[in-house]
Chains A and B, each alone.
Chain A
Amino acid sequence: MSLPSVEVAADFKDALQDLKQNNRPEISNLTIIAKENTEHAQAISVELENHIRTTRPEWKLPALYVLDSIVKNVGTPYTVYLGRNLYRTFMDAYTLMDQGTRKAMEGLLRTWKQPVPESMEARPVFSPDVTRDIENALNKYSKLAMQHGLPARPVSNPAWRNTPTPPQNITRYAAPNDPRVRQPFPPTQQYGHFPATPPTQYPSMQPYPQPVSSSHLEDLKAEVAKLIATTQNAFASNLADVSLRTKLQALLDLQKILNTQTLPPQQLEAVRKQVQALAPSTPYPNFVPSVPIQPPQQPLPMFPPAGAPVNIAQLLANAGIPAPPSSTPVAPTPSLADMLRRVSSPAQPSSTPTPNLPFFLPGFSAPPAIPTSVPAAVPASAPAQTGTPTANLAQLLSQFGKPIAAPALVTAPQQPNSLPQLLAQSPSAPTIGSADWLINALKGVPASTTPSSSTPFPSASMARQLSAPINIQAEVELTTASMKKPRLHLISKLYEAIPNICATCGRRFENTPEGKQKKARHMDWHFKVKDPDAAKRGVHRSWYISEKEWIDYREVDETSPEQTSNGAIGSSAAVKKQAKDKYVPVPQDPTLLHAPCPICQEKFDPRWLVEANDFVWMDATKVGGKIYHATCWEEYSKGAGIPTPSTPDSVLGKRKAEVSTPASAKKVRAY
């Protein structure tokens, strides 16, 4: 375990070289190497990426299966390292593959958008940010492939599942809080469940065993996912509706149970019946943006009065459903007690400074129109009905949750005035207060409004897509009247959806591996610019860049990986592009698409450019609505175009030969 990374990586590489087909024992073996050497995860990841990039096309897919097996069985930190370049790793390989292999890769991608099957981890294998980029690229690729007369990609088969993924009965170890901090390697006994001899357990070329009722279970899960999506839609447009909230929470809990526990057949059957009963009885209208949220008419406590089908105790009990022995650190979440305290007295923010926990419930903050002393409110017109399937489901669920939920909470009093007492009993029970369900619900963008045509791979896990920026659909119309409607539920997109705040400057980051990396780089940057001597060293204002430099300039902020280590400022060198390296995306317009370069009359060759995430014409530039070879144009337009008669030293440290510059004689420091 104290081997240097190079040696481990070399071993790994050797083993990889031998992998020429989808050989399960070899893949398992490589997975074990990766698992036992997580302290060399970075080196191993680089090795794997290099191998996928350089090996022959027909050997790439087995190597991708290794990647798949590692991220699913070992998880972090591999998901972090491999996630960084996944787009490139995937797309580089994809463009070289035949149709059949592409289909297999699409299948892999599909599973990466979901949690590892049977695992306790509820989040997808790779962050949606990572997979979405690839999806978008595939989308474009297939569109352009069609336009260019290439054979269209066959419709992918959603049932495709040939990932060599062993069952997830192993506990994942905790990821380091910060990717830069090395977590002590956990004792091996902890992984006793990991198949020591995978070949015998997972015979070659066989899909891993599924639970007997797996297809039924999958159906049920899909049904639940659908219900969740519908309910979220309804809830998003009516945040104050307690019954909806209860139902949503119950459904999300159910989803958790289905994903994490193996239920005996009769319980499964009971659940199925409940779900079936729910399905037709969801007359909640689809989300209609034009319906304004009615300002609450009367102050009400946030919990339903006694006698309502689901009381706060049940809510709490349900919320206490087994938090997966989480592998990746979750951003600090406020306790439910804390949240309730704020909710019930919005005018009195908690006296405890909680600067790192800005998780309030926007849905419950008092709208501007009503006095701030009025707590959150529920429209009187939306009481939950006793005896609805929802209530039954909730009761059913609370049974499942019983062994884990704190007994005191299960039997908690039902009177509102006993809430303080209830809360007083649970100040030290942070797991109870997982408010994730509500926060997720409040993110509430109806997944069903996403035009499915833009999503190449319909995903069963709609709930997970909710925070994806691409799904922010035209919910807010561009009209004067629409601007006046209160939509407090949207605020969570600017807060809870990006929960990791930098205490120094207030910039927020997503709670994903990528977001954490960005934050880590951001904190590095803060540290670097804090150089106390900087001000004393004759720092001065730089010249502005010229028009041409500015047009070619691309923002690189302090969180991007390209940030050089000495770099510090949110402005890396503006790489001046050579004409030959210029490109334009292949135009959609058919006239442009078939037009030759107006100067030399030669046609352009389309090419997939990974950096551009697009199909492009290289050595091309678009001027005044026409596309020219960049080299032709440069030749033609010498001195014309956008003139910059004298090009002085740039602030970026480049030097030009011209004497007639306003810049300093001494070289401007690049920073």
Chain B
Amino acid sequence: MIALPGLNLTSAPAEPLNLPAAAATRIQDLAANTEYRFEVSFGRALTIRLLSGTAEFFGTELGPSATYTFQGTKGSVFTWHGCKLEIGGQAESEYVAEETQMMSYVNAHFAVESLRGRSAATGEAGPGVLVVGPNSSGKTALVRILMSYAVKSGRQPMAVNLDPKEGMLSVPGSFSAVAFSSIVDIEDGWGSSPISGPSPIPVKMPLVYHYGLANPEEGKIFKPLVTRMALAVTSRLEEDHASRQAGFIIDSSGLIAQGKSGVYDNIEHIISEFSVNILFVLGSERLYSDLTRKYSNRPGEEPVSVIRLDKSGGCVDRSEEYMKQLRQAQIRSYFFGHGTDAALAPSSQMADFDDLNIFKISEGQENDSFRPGNDGDDGYGASNGIYEKETPSSLIQNSLLAITTAAANDRPDVIRDSSVRGYIYVADVDEVKKKVKLLSPQPGHTPPNALVFGSFPEDVPALVS
């Protein structure tokens, strides 16, 4: 194993940036209770500056003297009081919407907030919120708004991401949980996990697990991981008084909202494992009525309030192409940082095949079929069929490996349930010399821990030029 720092590694942007010229700005007036919606592609940048009034981006207020730069973003700037914005650069599309769902979202916040007040007074656990809805119904936007308002109200809420499609403070394919005591970032998704130097935005401290598949219907990892995260979050909340009062808000995948003939196994699993007591259903009438039926009239059980919220008109279907670019941008930003001024320096490493303990997530039905029943020794079945030991080959080139906290000789369910320390990227595999070139966020040795490799996120070609 040789560490080769300082090889002038640079991130290769997908397209050259077209930063707006300073002069090419325009003024956008917004009346109270309206929002400016925009889409900007990954190769371009849009700048927004607040000239007067007040404005929010998913609940986080724009600083009056800051200029925000957006790339690869579909977002909106909303104002409660009216404002004047200075906009620079080119948006793929932009318009002002007079009808928004912000009133109902802020009501949702204050409804949750009143439970936090109660928790502060009584010491009982704060609100446990789960947001569900079909794809592109604005779940993540709602979670961000609720988180931002909670932080603004002086709370320290916990955000939990169970949607593998987009990472929260980590790469896609991961699940994470984090308490927010400082503002949610505006330009860079949820902000940044810790780096080794000062960060212009307060870093967040997430707990990260690797899921490694695109589809949460794959029961053999999803449910055990949910159980595990619920255990960790519950343990934390038992002693972390500030976060306990504020409670948690869970973002979920649109796929678990599809259900099977009115049964939403994964949703029910999340609700029971996390003891969710508020369920916000975005958009879908059917999902709402199914879940209302399920969670009303359960005498003797903890009540779950099921509340439907309308989907915002700003929610647009995001093309698979866009999602793929978004994932790649998230992965790039994990290694290289976000934006031009937060350049991180990952390091390149060479490792022998024998140094790497790679476990590939088994997919397909055959693993389940030769299990004698669904009650394996860990309660979820398929415990032994979770992983296959993988010898490095060109198959893993350009993919991400999750560095778990498990040892290579741990049981598969221990590997599955362990949180991750980070990710390394397989830049090159030399099958002849049996060497692998890796990109690691940090200089140092290649970890002997169990490394997990799944089908999601997909390969990221040319992360290193």
Contacts and interface: CB of A to CB of B under 8 A. Distances in A.
A binds B: yes
Interface of A: 136, 140, 342, 346-356, 358, 360, 362, 365-368, 372, 454, 469-480, 482-488, 490-491, 493-495, 498, 501-508, 525-526, 528-531, 534-535, 537-547, 550-558, 568-571, 574, 582, 584-585, 588, 612-614, 622, 642-648, 651, 660-666, 668-669, 671
Contacts of A362: 80-81
B52 A355 contact: yes
Contact of B405 (A372, A498, A546): A546
B205 to A, nearest CB: 5
B405 A647 contact: yes
Given A529-B200, A568-B198, A558 B182 contact: yes
30 contacts: A349-B52, A353-B52, A358-B53, A358-B54, A360-B54, A365-B32, A469-B120, A472-B113, A482-B107, A483-B108, A487-B107, A491-B80, A491-B106, A494-B106, A502-B63, A503-B66, A505-B183, A535-B342, A539-B196, A541-B337, A541-B346, A544-B206, A544-B207, A550-B177, A550-B232, A555-B205, A584-B238, A584-B239, A648-B405, A665-B445
B253 interface: no
Given A349-B82, A472-B110, A476-B107, A546 B198 contact: no
A646 B182 contact: no
Nearest to B50: A355
B232 A494 contact: no
A553 B149 CA distance: 23
Interface in B45-68: 50-54, 60-66
Nearest to A356: B64
A544 B65 contact: no
Contacts of A368: 33-34, 98-100, 103
A387 B392 CA distance: 90
Interface string B238-263: 11111100000000000000000000
The prevalent SS among residues of A at the interface is loop
B315 interface: no
Contacts of A648: 405, 421, 447
B153 A494 contact: yes
Interface stretch (B17-25, B264-272, B406-414): B406-414
Contact of A556 (B177, B181, B204): B181
Contacts of A495: 54, 80-81
Given A508-B61, A543-B441, A554-B242, 5 more contacts: A365-B33, A368-B103, A476-B107, A538-B5, A568-B198
Given A347-B31, A505-B66, A469 B117 contact: yes
B341 A535 contact: yes
Contact of A585 (B123, B198, B288): B123
Given A136-B121, A554-B240, A349 B202 contact: no
B418 A645 contact: yes
A542 B52 contact: no
A662 B423 CA distance: 11
A447 B108 CA distance: 21
Interface stretch (B301-309, B359-367, B429-437): B301-309
A346 B79 CA distance: 12
Contacts of B156: 555
A372 B419 contact: no
A471 B121 CA distance: 10
A100 to B, nearest CB: 28
A568 B194 CA distance: 12
A498 B154 CA distance: 10
Given A347-B31, A368-B100, A503-B64, A475 B442 contact: no
Interface in B186-211: 186, 193-208
A91 to B, nearest CB: 15
Contact of B235 (A551, A614, A660): A551
A346 B32 contact: yes
B278 interface: yes
Contacts of B460: none
B69 interface: no
Contacts, number: 354
B254 to A, nearest CB: 20
B182 A570 contact: yes
A478 B54 contact: no
Contacts of B63: 501-507
B14 interface: no
A163 to B, nearest CB: 28
Interface string B302-345: 00010111000000000000000000000000110100011111
B443 A528 contact: no
Given A372-B34, A487-B107, A570-B202, A551 B236 contact: yes
A367 B81 CA distance: 11
A470 B117 contact: yes
Nearest to A129: B154
B77 to A, nearest CB: 12
B246 to A, nearest CB: 10
B237 to A, nearest CB: 9
Nearest to A491: B80
Nearest to B191: A570
Nearest to B86: A353
B449 interface: yes
Contacts of A365: 32-33, 80-82
Contacts of A472: 110, 113-114, 117
B347 interface: yes
Nearest to A653: B196
Given A477-B111, A483-B307, A540-B346, A664 B198 contact: no
Contacts of A360: 32, 53-54, 80-82
Given A346-B32, A368-B100, A646-B407, A542 B442 contact: yes
A642 B54 contact: no
B137 to A, nearest CB: 15
Contacts of B405: 546-547, 644-648
Contacts of B32: 346, 360, 365-366, 372
A470 B113 CA distance: 10
Nearest to A359: B81
Contacts of B447: 648, 661-663
Given A541-B335, A648-B421, A478 B81 contact: no
A535 B63 CA distance: 23
B422 interface: yes
A349 B337 CA distance: 37
B160 interface: no
A143 to B, nearest CB: 10
Minimum-distance CB pairs A-B, first 9:
A662-B447, A355-B64, A664-B444, A570-B202, A365-B32, A372-B31, A539-B197, A360-B81, A541-B441
A475 B208 CA distance: 36
B91 interface: no
Contacts of B180: 555
B240 to A, nearest CB: 6
A585 B421 CA distance: 32
B29 interface: yes
B120 A470 contact: yes
B241 A612 contact: yes
Contact of A506 (B60, B194, B421): B60
B207 A473 contact: no
Nearest to B308: A480
A551 B177 CA distance: 11
A479 B236 CA distance: 29
Contacts of B194: 541-542, 569, 571, 651, 671
B448 A535 contact: no
B403 interface: yes
A479 B449 contact: no
B106 A490 contact: yes
Contacts of B149: 494
B29 A347 contact: yes
Contacts of B114: 472-476
Contacts of B113: 469, 472
Contacts of B239: 551-552, 582, 584
B205 A545 contact: yes
Contacts of B334: 541
